[in-house]
Chains A and B, each alone.
Chain A
Amino acid sequence: MNYIPNTDADRADMLAVIGVPSVADLFHDVPEKQRFPELDLPPALSEMEVLQELQALADENDDLNHVSCFLGAGAYNHFVPSVVDSLIRRGEFYSAYTPYQAEISQGTLQAHFEYQSMICALTGMETSNVSHYDGATATAEAVIMALQVGRGKRSKVVLSPTLHPQYRAVVRTYTQGMGIQIAGEDAPLGDLAALAGPAGADSACVVVQNPDFLGRLYTPAEMQGLADKVHAAGAFFIVVTDPVSLGLFVPPGQYGADVVCGEGQPMGNALSFGGPYLGFFATKLSEVRKSSGRIVGQTVDTDGKRGFVLTLSTREQHIRREKASSNICSNQALNALAAAMYLAAMGKYGLRTVAELSYHKAHYAAGLIAALDGYEVKAAGLFFKEFVVRCPKPVALINQALLDEFGILGGYDLGSDYPELKDHMLLCVTEMNSRAEIKQLVDALEELAGSDDLAALDGEEAAQ
């Protein structure tokens, strides 16, 4: 099956107008020996057959409609109101491209202007772009912005060890050719003050996550304390955050952040095995010309009527080429649109309710687990919807049993990223987890702590 309307008759007419005898004659610039190679591909399928094949592949996965999920670690199972997917499916939105021609792209442009407005409201910042690829690349772009502002004189980047490990990895990848130094990752976990130490006159920025990767929430006073020290050193204070947490908690714009960025997936985007998501990115008006990514601005048309255009493009690759602030071109526009629809539908009180429910349920779960023999909840301070649990057995074994025997997706195994947290899992609880589900998790954990099966498995693993 293909989607080509040309008939043989059309092709003949068109070739006559072009003045070549056959379609193959259009390709004589391709070196003859390389022309028309064989493609060894499986035979074409009809629409019906391809859907059957895809359904079979989809059925092999234990998706969240069949298991209960206590896994987060950067991708979150939050409720998506029906309006979001229903509206995002409009072809007028998804089959358009970057709104270069503003007059016939006002739908996208206005919706993105509103997205920017709602991201500013949420983060407490003055400007927002229309998205980066995800939370990790938004963080890397924030770091690069700080390095560019530092103009080579500030070549140290301080990363909190409780910044998402994958975000730290992406910052490393992005900056590998830039001759910079990365510090801070060996600071004690959760010790904000320790991050001020490495931040000096040679530092471009300090990046902190709040709530952090281990779920811990720092108070505005603690964050402001660090912000002041970072600013005293002349560096940028970059805060990575969970947008849902901002439904309830003081936004980073109110405690000194120069850039607020993070993963926007929890705002109305499906989990989809990791993407597409969106990296949100907000900064101050004074820094916006140094930032990267598409930005929509308000203007008027020749009749004086309000309208919207892409603006500040002189930062971008299509104008500035090698001097651009980033190479980004296509972004995650449709995901940003979904986020805007989500924020509009949730509104002032809905997002707060989502955050409150997540908070209460996470604390309820943590309380019950803390009371179990063999488990320890390691919440040193405040937390939002994730918390660390020390387990009596290796996390992989517990998770396997949770899934196989109880239909539960357990928490993230922290041992591989933090050797000192071997046998620790990061659990996540959101508004999607009912009290009954939480009870099932707690009962299952209790059962597994005493289970000989697991002990046997453990022994097997140890023997290997």
Chain B
Amino acid sequence: MSEPLIYEISRAGRRAVSLPACDVPEAPFPADAVRADLPLPEVSEIDVVRHYTRLSQLNHSIDTGFYPLGSCTMKYNPKVNEVAARLPGFASLHPLQDALSAQGAMALIHSLQELLAEIAGFSAVTLQPAAGAHGELTGVLIMRKYLYDRGETQRDIILVPDSAHGTNPATTSMSGLKVMVVPSDARGNVNLEILRSLTAKHGPHLIGLMLTNPNTLGLFDENVEEVVRLVHEAGGLVYGDGANFNAILGIAKPGLLGFDVMHYNLHKTFSTPHGGGGPGSGAVGVAAFLADYLPGPIVVRDEDDEYAWQMPAKSIGRVKAFWGNFAVLVRAYTYIRMHGAEGLRQVSENAVLNANYLQARLRDVYPIPHSDRTCMHEFVAQGKLEGAPGINTMDIAKRLMDFDFHPPTVYFPLIVAEALMVEPTETESKETLDAFADTLIRIAEEARTDPELLKTAPHHAPVKRLDEVKAAKDMVLCYGPGCGG
């Protein structure tokens, strides 16, 4: 199974589109500005269709199989979302057309701002950020600007737990701030003692703390209120990384737990597809005292009951052109409207139930550092098997592919050696979970009896194990003739 590159199926003279004849007088081209050649492929329409159809068949996807990629919430993406986003009244709307000619779209944005605020307990929401990391940057810039406006310009540190996703520290440096790492304790919570000493020592220099809760171990921090209190007491603010919000819809509201800012990952929690890596949406919610700092414009309802764009008074500025990933917002809106309060709570209850069930089925076979606790929507196991010293997490992950399962997230969080981070989501059935658990148990057995089978896996994927070192060394990053024009 392999598919040639689009350039390799190109034949001079083939065409895949027909365009209209020019119906106006032609204008002369500025000769010195016209390019000599445009090295794009020449293919027919059926070539395009077969090429991309075949390529698609080389992918694992939610639509074709279980995808328990921890931290990514690979839940089923309802087909109605796709229909909704493509309604011509949405898809064929220009972002800069007059607000009065786009009131329906703006009403949807306004509703979604309010729905998201209610679900997480915030006062105001911006839908402009395009992904989780973009929301993080937005949130941290808001915290920074708020504190600096109060004259506290000496503040330049963000506390980041050692379990945090890489985007948290990367966001901190991108915002011109310093990262200080807070270790986790033996139960997987933020280490309170160390946090206390850090806030005592660095209090006046803290912008705040970035906290993922439930955290990347899949655990709801047992001391979350104390963590929040300590940071606030030091004059800092608490940022919530909402990547794991799927665990707590209708279970807890981060705003009421004391979080000041949080990003939502609409592509995770609210079922807009992940698109092979994006697009997403990283909407950001804030407590009332930060509402003026949101990026914008956001949609407000004016005196005439019309929807209008408004830049918040002390805004950090725009984080993106136009208004956000609107077609992603339409999908999230559709999802929330179809669920209602009860439906959303069922989502989280079943996501957590499924994760605990899988954890229970696997805890005697794979080490799971915190299996003494109930997990939330995911848990972290380890690819370290007794009696199979040569086998690591990567081998187990690759062997899973032979059974048509996407592997869990591997080697993250960094604080668990040989991490296998499993997030089943609520849209998977007990049969699927059982089949996955049975397979992992079988692989553990194979690891002892036939380790070579794992070492050389995958055996049934479109390609065998790929050489990443060679890719980084050779740096073949595009196809010959096109490169360099």
Q: A299 within 8 Å of B by Cβ? A: yes
A317 close to B166 (CB less than 8 A) = yes
Q: How many whole Å from A74's CB to the nearest CB in chain B?
A: 6
- In the assembled complex, the Cα of A422 lies from the Cα of B69 at a distance in Å of 53
Q: For chain B residues 317-363, which have a beta carbon within 8 Å of chain A?
A: 317-328, 330, 333-334, 336-347, 349-350, 352-354, 356-357, 359-361
A26 close to B92 (CB less than 8 A) = no
Known: A97-B277, A347-B42. A111 touches B82 (CB 8 A): no
Q: A275 within 8 Å of B by Cβ? A: yes
Contact of B60 among A18, A101, A179, A250 (CB under 8 A): A101
0/1 interface trace, chain B 73-97, chain A, CB 8 Å (1 if under)? 0111110101111111111111111
16 sample A-B contacts, Cβ–Cβ < 8 Å, listed by A number: A37-B250, A39-B118, A41-B344, A57-B107, A89-B82, A97-B274, A169-B318, A173-B316, A273-B94, A298-B477, A299-B466, A299-B471, A320-B166, A333-B278, A346-B17, A435-B23
Q: A4 within 8 Å of B by Cβ? A: yes
Among A112, A178, A220, A344, max chain B CB count under 10 A is at: A344
- In the assembled complex, the Cα of A300 lies from the Cα of B465 at a distance in Å of 9
Q: A75 within 8 Å of B by Cβ? A: yes
Q: How many whole Å from B129's CB to the nearest CB in chain A?
A: 8
A/B pair count, beta carbons within 8 Å = 713
- In the assembled complex, the Cα of A438 lies from the Cα of B273 at a distance in Å of 39
0/1 interface trace, chain B 6-41, chain A, CB 8 Å (1 if under)? 110010001111011011111101101111001111
Q: A65 within 8 Å of B by Cβ? A: yes
Across the interface, which residues of B come within 8 angstroms of A122, CB to CB?
38, 40, 485
6 smallest A-B Cβ distances: which pairs?
A: A58-B89, A177-B176, A274-B322, A91-B63, A124-B485, A334-B275
Across the interface, which residues of A come within 8 angstroms of B186, CB to CB?
none
A170 close to B321 (CB less than 8 A) = yes
Binds B, one of A182-190, A200-208, A303-311, A454-462: A303-311
Q: B420 within 8 Å of A by Cβ? A: no
0/1 interface trace, chain A 1-40, chain B, CB 8 Å (1 if under)? 1111110001101110111100101111111001111111
B277 close to A333 (CB less than 8 A) = yes
A3 close to B166 (CB less than 8 A) = no
- In the assembled complex, the Cα of A270 lies from the Cα of B409 at a distance in Å of 32
Known: A29-B222, A330-B131. A302 touches B169 (CB 8 A): no
A176 close to B225 (CB less than 8 A) = no
Q: A280 within 8 Å of B by Cβ? A: no
A133 close to B131 (CB less than 8 A) = yes
0/1 interface trace, chain B 105-132, chain A, CB 8 Å (1 if under)? 1011000000100110100000000111
Across the interface, which residues of B come within 8 angstroms of A270, CB to CB?
86, 91-92, 327
Contact of B17 among A114, A350, A361, A438 (CB under 8 A): A350
A105 close to B339 (CB less than 8 A) = no
B343 close to A322 (CB less than 8 A) = no
Q: B5 within 8 Å of A by Cβ? A: yes
Q: A160 within 8 Å of B by Cβ? A: no
A94 close to B273 (CB less than 8 A) = yes
Across the interface, which residues of B come within 8 angstroms of A116, CB to CB?
477-478
Q: A369 within 8 Å of B by Cβ? A: no
Considering the complex, give the chain A residue whose CB is closest to the CB of B87: A58
Known: A30-B252, A56-B104. A219 touches B33 (CB 8 A): yes
Considering the complex, give the chain B residue whose CB is closest to the CB of A54: B84
Considering the complex, give the chain B residue whose CB is closest to the CB of A170: B318
A47 close to B338 (CB less than 8 A) = yes
Across the interface, which residues of B come within 8 angstroms of A447, CB to CB?
none
0/1 interface trace, chain A 61-79, chain B, CB 8 Å (1 if under)? 1111101010101110101
Q: B136 within 8 Å of A by Cβ? A: yes
- A interface residues, how many (CB within 8 angstroms): 215
Binds B, one of A227-235, A288-296, A370-378: A288-296
A61 close to B61 (CB less than 8 A) = no
A93 close to B276 (CB less than 8 A) = yes
B474 close to A297 (CB less than 8 A) = yes
Considering the complex, give the chain B residue whose CB is closest to the CB of A9: B430
A357 close to B20 (CB less than 8 A) = yes
- In the assembled complex, the Cα of A53 lies from the Cα of B51 at a distance in Å of 38
Across the interface, which residues of A come within 8 angstroms of B345, CB to CB?
36, 39
Known: A173-B318, A329-B132, A363-B27. A31 touches B94 (CB 8 A): no
B485 close to A305 (CB less than 8 A) = no
Known: A97-B274, A312-B472. A322 touches B179 (CB 8 A): yes
Q: How many whole Å from B316's CB to the nearest CB in chain A?
A: 6
0/1 interface trace, chain A 161-178, chain B, CB 8 Å (1 if under)? 000101101101110111
Q: How large is the interface on B (under 10, 10 to 19, 20 to 34, 35 or more residues)?
A: 35 or more
- In the assembled complex, the Cα of A248 lies from the Cα of B328 at a distance in Å of 33
B104 close to A57 (CB less than 8 A) = yes
A104 close to B462 (CB less than 8 A) = yes
- In the assembled complex, the Cα of A116 lies from the Cα of B137 at a distance in Å of 27
Considering the complex, give the chain B residue whose CB is closest to the CB of A48: B80
Across the interface, which residues of B come within 8 angstroms of A128, CB to CB?
477-478
Q: How many whole Å from A303's CB to the nearest CB in chain B?
A: 5
Considering the complex, give the chain B residue whose CB is closest to the CB of A15: B353
A31 close to B224 (CB less than 8 A) = yes
Contact of B250 among A39, A277, A294, A340 (CB under 8 A): A39
Contact of B16 among A83, A91, A298, A337 (CB under 8 A): A83
- In the assembled complex, the Cα of A36 lies from the Cα of B467 at a distance in Å of 48
Across the interface, which residues of B come within 8 angstroms of A443, CB to CB?
none
Q: B53 within 8 Å of A by Cβ? A: yes
Q: B172 within 8 Å of A by Cβ? A: yes
Beyond the given A53-B337, A94-B82, A272-B326, please list 8 additional residue pairs across the A-B interface where CB-CB is below 8 A: A26-B356, A61-B101, A121-B482, A123-B485, A299-B471, A309-B466, A327-B136, A344-B40
Q: B447 within 8 Å of A by Cβ? A: no
Known: A59-B89, A95-B62. A327 touches B340 (CB 8 A): no
- In the assembled complex, the Cα of A73 lies from the Cα of B94 at a distance in Å of 10
Across the interface, which residues of B come within 8 angstroms of A18, CB to CB?
353, 356-357, 359-360, 374
Contact of B133 among A4, A177, A330 (CB under 8 A): A330
Q: How many whole Å from A43's CB to the nearest CB in chain B?
A: 5
Across the interface, which residues of A come within 8 angstroms of B174, CB to CB?
144, 174, 177, 326-327
- In the assembled complex, the Cα of A314 lies from the Cα of B469 at a distance in Å of 12
Q: How many whole Å from A112's CB to the nearest CB in chain B?
A: 8
Q: How many whole Å from B178's CB to the nearest CB in chain A?
A: 8
A17 close to B321 (CB less than 8 A) = no
Q: A92 within 8 Å of B by Cβ? A: yes
Binds A, one of B194-202, B231-239, B383-391, B421-429: B421-429
B97 close to A62 (CB less than 8 A) = yes
Contact of B276 among A1, A63, A99, A123 (CB under 8 A): A99
Q: A153 within 8 Å of B by Cβ? A: no
Q: How many whole Å from B472's CB to the nearest CB in chain A?
A: 5
A26 close to B341 (CB less than 8 A) = no
B278 close to A332 (CB less than 8 A) = yes
Q: For chain B residues 354-404, which have a beta carbon within 8 Å of chain A?
A: 354, 356-357, 359-361, 373-374, 397-398, 401
- In the assembled complex, the Cα of A333 lies from the Cα of B104 at a distance in Å of 28
0/1 interface trace, chain B 404-430, chain A, CB 8 Å (1 if under)? 001101101000000000000011111
- In the assembled complex, the Cα of A19 lies from the Cα of B483 at a distance in Å of 59
- In the assembled complex, the Cα of A3 lies from the Cα of B84 at a distance in Å of 17
Q: For chain B residues 279-337, which have a beta carbon within 8 Å of chain A?
A: 279-280, 295, 316-328, 330, 333-334, 336-337
Across the interface, which residues of B come within 8 angstroms of A56, CB to CB?
104
Q: A444 within 8 Å of B by Cβ? A: no
Considering the complex, give the chain B residue whose CB is closest to the CB of A116: B478
Known: A330-B131, A345-B45. A275 touches B430 (CB 8 A): no
Among B55, B250, B428, B429, max chain A CB count under 10 A is at: B55
Known: A166-B321, A250-B33, A271-B94. A318 touches B166 (CB 8 A): yes
Considering the complex, give the chain A residue whose CB is closest to the CB of B407: A101
Contact of B324 among A274, A323, A400 (CB under 8 A): A274
Q: A449 within 8 Å of B by Cβ? A: no
- In the assembled complex, the Cα of A241 lies from the Cα of B20 at a distance in Å of 25
Q: B453 within 8 Å of A by Cβ? A: no
Q: A158 within 8 Å of B by Cβ? A: no
Considering the complex, give the chain B residue whose CB is closest to the CB of A14: B357
